[in-house]
Structure 1
């Protein structure tokens, strides 16, 4: 399996924190990213983990993403950053993306769905229930955040198969995307959305790459003691969370995962630009 790290949507710029020069040789303000993964697999074609902003979002941002969100997030609206354009630049056709695995259904993660209408879209069962069960909408879960423009084409939403209460490094409730031979898991990371989950990918060397979605937004939250949030991102996290205690608990479990299993798991998040730069540098 080959893994490509893609930024599928630059958002507003945020300043570096004083602690940042230790990991950034040229500390400067950076645009918040939409960190997605493109997996080249032997058995399942291309698998996209999250989709960032799509081409329709970039053509009609206020209609597709919402005027208030656009005013706050300040997306760059660069079509070259869409997953569709990046897939084509790598020499593939859009139809080669056969599967999309989503951490959750917020707009900055689902914008590319209409660009791959034939792909099967895999969700953790809790997130699937939140968007398909009318009772979930009554409790203020994901339906109101799953933008109508991103689901107008009728995406093939598919709940992952719950693995009999299986665990992954002590995280319970693991589910497996249906119909994929590759070793991918959806691991519940509660607190951000109703069924928010990380996506664990077993690489060829046996290590796990773990896309933790929006469970944290700045690497200082899991790398530093005490946790160091970014003041520009913390209000975004707090505004989106469904359960503050669960979200903080998830963050602390990720801290433990990173601390206790550094040789087995590499953790990444969806929006941290300094973290994304590390992976982009490693993969060229």
Structure 2
């Protein structure tokens, strides 16, 4: 019998920030989600794609130490609460953090790896060069990472990848390298019985508008690779994969959440 998947999503960190921070040259402000995908896999248990923002950011004083001075306000995360953190959201869905068997990371920025420490017994699946870069990032991309997210996680079980992989060798969960925003960015493609192939692109692009217009983010690690990744995302869409970006508000609205699921 083929494995069955069921998924929902949660928003584990809302940001209100200048739109130019996500799309070079844009004006105005934008409010965006931080999408975490929660997958119930009939064979391999509970799988997460990304982990959102750490709960310490809910406390203005703690955030000054955890993220760094002024970053909570800079990213427009003042509305983040303890209940928004992914461990609390899992409990709301009827799961325990200990139920999570695998955590897959698009990349290790502070709005994607903030919940790493909640899952000490899971397998943490990340591109090898992303893990290295998170510990010692290039200066112009350093502010996207916070070492506190993984400072006490060095002894975790990491599955370090170099390129694309069919994670469980059953076609249900594939990881595709999509570097550019960071050195080791990756996307996840699921094969659902009733929804077909669905791709979660993380920050391979930040906004659909930026993807459509080939506009990168000012703080991307490598603009050339980012624009090549845009082509990769479009190729996946042409091949029939429904692609979703982690921070695009319309994409999040179209995904199952608040008790809804896809299978």
Q: TM-score range by the shorter chain?
A: 0.7 to 0.9
Q: TM-score, normalised by structure 2?
A: 0.80
Number of equivalences: 243
Task: Give the structure 2 partner of residue 188 of structure 1.
Answer: 177
Instruction: Using the TM superposition, give the Cα deviation of residue 13 of structure 1 relative to its aligned residue in structure 2, in angstroms.
Output: 5.9
Larger relative helix fraction: 1
Q: TM-score, normalised by structure 1?
A: 0.75
Task: Give the structure 1 partner of residue 24 of structure 2.
Answer: none
- Could you tell me how far apart the structure 2 residues matched to 1:206 and 1:271 are? 21
Task: Give the structure 1 partner of residue 11 of structure 2.
Answer: 7
Task: Give the structure 2 partner of residue 44 of structure 1.
Answer: 44
CA RMSD of aligned residues (A): 2.9
| 1:39–1:216 CA distance, 2 compared to 1 (3 A) | same
- Equivalent residues of 1:54, 1:115 under 8 A apart: no
Instruction: Using the TM superposition, give the Cα deviation of residue 274 of structure 1 relative to its aligned residue in structure 2, in angstroms.
Output: 1.8
- Equivalent residues of 1:43, 1:181 under 8 A apart: no
| 1:84–1:139 CA distance, 2 compared to 1 (3 A) | closer
- Could you tell me how far apart the structure 2 residues matched to 1:44 and 1:153 are? 26
Task: Give the structure 2 partner of residue 268 of structure 1.
Answer: 244
Instruction: Using the TM superposition, give the Cα deviation of residue 277 of structure 1 relative to its aligned residue in structure 2, in angstroms.
Output: 0.9
**Structure 1: runs of 5 or more not aligned:** 16-28, 163-172
**Structure 2: runs of 5 or more not aligned:** 20-28
Larger relative strand fraction: 2
Task: Give the structure 2 partner of residue 251 of structure 1.
Answer: 230
- Equivalent residues of 1:124, 1:175 under 8 A apart: no
Q: Which has the higher contact order (CA 8 A, sep 6+)?
A: 2
Partner deviation per Cα, 1:202-228 (whole Å, 9 max, x = no partner): 223472221111111112234x4xx27
Instruction: Using the TM superposition, give the Cα deviation of residue 71 of structure 1 relative to its aligned residue in structure 2, in angstroms.
Output: 2.1
- Could you tell me how far apart the structure 2 residues matched to 1:128 and 1:14 are? 28
- Could you tell me how far apart the structure 2 residues matched to 1:114 and 1:138 are? 20
| 1:5–1:180 CA distance, 2 compared to 1 (3 A) | farther
- Could you tell me how far apart the structure 1 residues matched to 2:199 and 2:75 are? 25
